[in-house]
Structure 1
Amino acid sequence: MIDSTVLRPPFRGFLAARTVSLLGSSMSSVALALGVLGATGRATDLGIVLAAGIGPQLVLLLVGGAVADRFSRRTLLVHANLGAGLTQAGVAAILLSGTFDLLPVSLLAVAHGALEAFASPALRGIVPELVAPEDLHRANSALSLSRNVSRVAGPALAGVITAVAGGGWAVAADALSFLIAAALLSRLPRSGRVSGARGSLLPDIRAGWREFRSTTWVWVTSLAFFVVNLANVGPWQVLGPTLTREDGGDAAWGLVLSVRAAGLVAMSLLMYRLVLRRPLRAGMVAAAFGALPLFALGADAGLPVLLVCVFVGAMGFTVSGVTWDTALQQNVRPEVLSRVSSYDDLLSFGAIPIGLLVVGRAAAEWGARTVALAGGVAFVAAALVPLLSRSVRDLRATPADRGRRGSPSAR
């Protein structure tokens, strides 16, 4: 269980806001897919709506990071959640009206993605403002638990609401969750960190890039996660369901996802208690275990072996995520943290659409299981090669004085 040393105001309110918002978003992802497909029956339309949300998020991430470092992260998050609530309410209204139109839904998805681009860097940057440096590891573990539980509960709840009342009501619940989150976030204390800078954001974005590229352990690890996402997400999401069905029938993929969720939740609980003196060393080693499901799929190891690999791999993902967030928050200066995070997110997550686009053609050319095995090899290499850098393997989780974050001794 999680004790109360970290779960106290103001972090308690932030955790509650994130939990409500994540639960709503987990519901909405399922409900939106069912709603669009139910309205048009065309998978292409769903792809357009999803792409409309992802595109602006990637394009505007660097701007979002600069804004989050310049202004109050609390205020930015309140407005982003209010805006997200309105966009989702618009989508819900269209679905509930029974007169689906692809254009307005896509435009609302564009607006929602743009708001996410501003919220994402602020979310990582605000945590050090709410807890003491020595509590960052446990705070990130609690946030990881919230995120993973929401991923389990959200789709199940969305399925029930959609079956009883329709997908539009599940999207409406997501809209309400954003509004509740905005109300909770508005109660957080105002930060005294606002720079008050004026004028173009371009110099701020450039300064963020200089900080990112000059901090070796940051760009090395971010580049590793780029390769990890490129090698893993496409084969797992596109090839995984088909190969799993071959191993265990139609119900196997659902079982695999359930076991994966259990691994994510279990490790989130364990991470709250663990103390890691060198977080990146432990995180990258643990991340390598995330490749096990790809090896199981590629080797046609059978469903029981795959389930074990999925559980262990999910635990590895959780360790790497918590340690990475903590390392950034403890060792990057607060005034540039959101900008550095935005470059990390852009590099890491920019690989996902690339992988999703190329994996089908690669599987047709070389075979699905061969692609899965190759992805596993690339995954392990990407996770472990950064450990050749002393700045990565020796980075300590010492809650050093905030004025010293990002100093040469930390790199």
Structure 2
Amino acid sequence: MSPALRWFFAGRSISLIGSFMSPVALAFGVLELTGSAAWLSAVTASALVPMVATMLLGGAVADRYRRDTVLVLTSLGAGLAQTGVAVLLLTDRHPALLLPFSALNGVFQGLTTPTLRGILANLTSGPGLQRAGSLLAAAGNIARIGGPAAAGLLTAAAGGGWAIAADAASFLLAAACFARMRLPRLEPRPADLREGWTWFRSHRWFWSVTLAFAVFNAANMGFWQILGPVIANTTIGAAAWGLVLSARGAGALLSSVVLVRVPLMSRPMRPALSSMTVATLPLILLGAGAGTVGLAAASLLAGAAAEFFTVTWQTVTNTLIPERLLSRVGAHDEFWSTASSPAGQLAAPLLAATFGTAVVAITGGAIAAAAMLLTASIPAFRAIKIGRDPG
């Protein structure tokens, strides 16, 4: 592992510890402050909408300038924004004041995401891509296990503001690590947004996956992020909900550890997409009234399946997309697949009030599973082989 990759590994791992604490802390912090699912939906969407809106710009920035510099600046900005959120929660301010800080954090995350999609190609190549991606995933999944559980316990004991403060500190520490990466200097290079779009729309295998995840993120993740804490707040509680989320991390960790040593099959996309149906089980069981043990078991399986897809997708895209286009094409993938998430988050409380939380949760999971299976059945995916662009 090169020195630059080691510093990236350290910085990314540190930031993820705080990032996996943040959703639990923010959700229960807002619910404690307002008791309202609508306010939770508004605060969550206020970060997600700016994040999605800035992704395409972030792709152009990351393909034009040094990606380590971009990560330093965005991590500093995110740390300051989360500090503002922590102060507001700790001082019991009106929830409307959370919205601009959440939006600012969303902007920095929107600029960060495309950078992360492209930086591995600057740090390693060939067989090292899957190995590096799996190692990073393993570290992230350790954070995914400990972060939500720690946030749940800390939130139950002292309030969500302190867990958000830990997230802010993690961003600042990550910025210090990224500053030590020292990637080779490069001259600013052209980064036409249209070039990324042209590659994106001309490769059916790529945009088909993006479309499937647009459905998945709205119907599964959007509902889970809102209905999950709301239901848990009146049933299993914050600490148990943190354990459920940590179980997902445990499943993802097991999957990533296996993938560090076991090479992917030569044609991995259809199995990877099909496995994503398992990732809808937690939402379906949540609607069915499952308890902590059932939800944790489903989350364990969901985490393993999702990590298999993530490592597969990262390896395939880093292999088949030209390095100079990685962030711009990745930005389109992130943009179109997550643009639907705010709609799912905002619709969740309205649909639940009309049809009931159980019906909405079960239906959302079923729709997401169907989107994955239909996409996996597209004949074009048979041609996708690692090392060869199917067009």
- Work out which of the residue numbers 94, 100, 118 in structure 2 matches 1:125: 118
Alignment gaps of 5+ in structure 2? none
Q: Do residues 273 (structure 1) and 261 (structure 2) align?
A: yes
- 1:97-176 to structure 2, matched below 5 A, reads 98=91, 100=93, 102=95, 104-159=97-152, 161=154, 167-176=160-169
1:84 shift after superposition: 1.6
Q: Could you say which residue in structure 2 is the equivalent of 1:404?
A: none
Give 1:92 shift.
3.6
Contact 2:20 2:147 in 1 (8 A): yes
5 Å-filtered alignment, 1:203-282, equals 204-239=192-227, 256-276=244-264, 277-282=266-271
The Cα shift of 1:301 comes to 8.0
Deviation of 1:174 (Å) = 2.3
User: CA 1:369 to 1:254, structure 2 compared with 1: closer, same or farther past 3 Å?
Assistant: same
Decide whether the 8 Å contact of 2:28 with 2:229 is kept in 1.
Answer: no
Distance in 2 separating the partners of 1:239 and 1:85: 27
SS class of match (1:397): coil
2:46 maps to 52
Deviations 1:248-304 (A, max 9, x none): 966875664443332222222222222112231231122122233455556778877
Secondary structure class of the residue paired with 1:133: coil
CA distance in 2, matches of 1:282, 1:14: 30
* Corresponding residue for residue 350 of structure 1: 339
Cα pair distance change 1:302/1:35, threshold 3 Å: closer
Q: One-letter code of the match for 1:28?
A: S
Instruction: Provide the residue aligned with 1:406 in structure 2.
Output: none
The question of 1:180 aligning with 2:173 is answered yes
Residue 379 (str. 1) matches residue 379 (str. 2): no
Aligned-residue sequence identity (percent) comes to 41
Specify the SS of the correspondent of 2:15: helix
SS of residue in 2 equivalent to 1:10: helix
TM-score between the two structures when normalised by the length of structure 1: 0.81
Matched, 1:74 2:68: yes
The 3 A distance-change label for structure 1 pair 174 and 314 is closer
Q: Give yes or no for the alignment of 1:397 onto 2:386.
A: yes
Relative to structure 1, is the Cα distance of residues 380 and 9 closer, same or farther in structure 2, using a 3 angstrom cutoff?
Answer: same
Distance verdict in 2 for CA 1:216–1:300, change over 3 Å? same
Deviation track 1:353-392 (CA, whole Å, cap 9, x = no partner) reads 2223334454555555554444344333321323344442
**Amino acid of the residue matched to residue 112 of structure 2?**
A
Cα RMSD of the aligned pairs, angstroms, is: 3.3
Displacement of 1:164: 6.5
CA contact (8 A) 1:14 1:185 kept: yes
Native 8 Å contact 2:37 2:349 kept in 1: no
How big is each residue's C-alpha offset from its partner over 1:288-331, in whole Å with a ceiling of 9 and x where there is no partner?
22233455556778877665444323211111111112211111
Aligned to 1:403: none
Q: 1:285 aligns with which of 271, 274, 278?
A: 274
Q: Which residue of 1 aligns with 2:307?
A: 318
Residues 205-251 of structure 1, C-alpha deviations (whole Å, 9 max, x = no match): 222111110111110111111122233224444555788899x9668
Which whole-Å CA distance do the structure 2 matches of 1:99 and 1:307 have between them?
32
Shift of 1:18: 0.7
What amino acid does structure 2 have at the position aligned with 1:384? L
The code of the aligned residue for 1:410 comes to P
Counterpart amino acid of 1:287? M
The whole-number CA distance in structure 1 between the counterparts of 2:177 and 2:327 is 21
Instruction: Report if the CA contact (8 A) 1:76-1:119 is conserved.
Output: yes
Deviates more, 1:302-311 or 1:188-197: 302-311
Question: Are 1:90 and 2:84 counterparts?
Answer: yes
Q: TM-score, normalised by structure 2?
A: 0.85
Which structure has the greater CA radius of gyration?
Answer: 1
